[in-house]
Structure 1
Amino acid sequence: MTSINYRKLLPNESRIYRAIRLESLEKFPEAFGATYQEALSIEKFRMESDIEEQTPERFVYGAFAQDELVGICTFVKNESNTGSIYQMYVKREFQGKNIGKGLIEAVIAEACRNFNGIEIHSGGCSGNNKAYNLYRKIGFQEVTRTSSEEIRMKYIP
């Protein structure tokens, strides 16, 4: 298996982020809060600007196989000392190799380094058993489940 390198995306990598983000929306529309068609009409995603500006409270980690970006995971810090993991996506041909687990763990480590004592939540796993089970395996526990089956989870180290 190809070795995978996990790191924060650099300012000049906002375009490759955009490409993989659009791919995630096109291939798995039910897993994300936006549609591919809606996203296409957006000239620049907020996270693209955050990557370019290296905003500490909003960052994207990438999983790289050689020089190819094969997965992303986004972190957004809230006003209180809490933050959420969003947009977790691994290209289909790289799924099932624990890359998603590595991405989430790298994001948690970065968030904990930057924000002492931060409370980390998942962005939601409604109807996505694979994501739910992955978050559970990493140490997240369910905190709420809404009537629309939106599941909020919290990381318990």
Structure 2
Amino acid sequence: MEIRLLTPDDAEAYWEMRLEALKNHPEAFATSYEEALERKNPIEQVANRLKGDGDFTFGAFQEDALIGTVTLVQDKIEKMKHRANIFAMYVKPENRRSGAGKALVTAAINHAKGIPDILKLNLTVVSSNEKAKGLYSSLGFTTYGKEEKALRVDETYYDEELMVLFLK
């Protein structure tokens, strides 16, 4: 398995995986599958985002196939540049328990450690997702809060746990 930063050349593969994630796990992402389908020129938008500039998306590859992704975004405004967020974590179901998730989050953490301003990483995870919470906890993240009814999918509400990892 190879873990690397995605480039604009990976935009189409990323977009296909993103749609899969949104469709199969609507409770895990703020964006809905339907909203994603309405985007104009989505692959072009993804390619522009994958150029970097404070947003870093990592991909896990197995035999040149994208099997998982995670995004690290540093806050942009001056008073918050010491913070970064981990978003859009997803590993294809057939590749779970392969170590891809841990490798992706570890790559994001290590990248953040290389950015002098970043002091801490934040993420949110659906409270009922025990496997994801276990992964994040194993890498040093701790829960500091809970947002009740953070997401609504159809008529079902999902709570989210707020997690943090201090790098320094």
Q: Does the alignment reach a TM-score above 0.5? A: yes
Q: Is 1:65 aligned to 2:59, yes or no?
A: no
* Gap runs ≥5 in structure 1: none
Structure-2 change in CA distance of 1:50 and 1:135 (3 Å): same
The answer on whether the counterparts of 1:47 and 1:59 sit within 8 Å (CA) in structure 2 is no
The answer on whether the counterparts of 2:7 and 2:47 sit within 8 Å (CA) in structure 1 is no
CA deviation profile, 1:33-76 (whole Å, cap 9, x unmatched): 1221111111227544210xx22311100000010000000111
Query: Which residue in 1 is equivalent to 2:98?
Result: 97
TM-score when normalising by structure 1: 0.89
TM-score when normalising by structure 2: 0.83
Q: Which moved more, 1:118-127 or 1:75-84?
A: 118-127
Q: Is 1:33 aligned to 2:30, yes or no?
A: yes
Structure 1 residue runs of 4 or more that deviate by more than 4 Å after TM superposition: none
Number of residue pairs aligned between Structure 1 and Structure 2: 152
Q: Which has the larger share of strand?
A: 2
The answer on whether the counterparts of 2:59 and 2:70 sit within 8 Å (CA) in structure 1 is yes
Note the aligned Cα RMSD (angstroms): 1.7
Q: Is 1:152 aligned to 2:149, yes or no?
A: no
- CA distance in 2 between counterparts of 1:13 and 1:117 reads 26
- CA distance in 2 between counterparts of 1:145 and 1:31 reads 15
Q: Percent identity?
A: 31
Query: Which residue in 2 is equivalent to 1:88?
Result: 89
1:71-150 alignment, distance < 5 Å: 71-78=68-75, 79=77, 80=80, 81-148=82-149, 149-150=159-160
Q: Which moved more, 1:136-145 or 1:118-127?
A: 118-127
User: Per the alignment, in what secondary structure is the counterpart of residue 125 of structure 2?
Assistant: coil
Query: Which residue in 1 is equivalent to 2:153?
Result: none
- Could you say which structure has the larger radius of gyration? 2
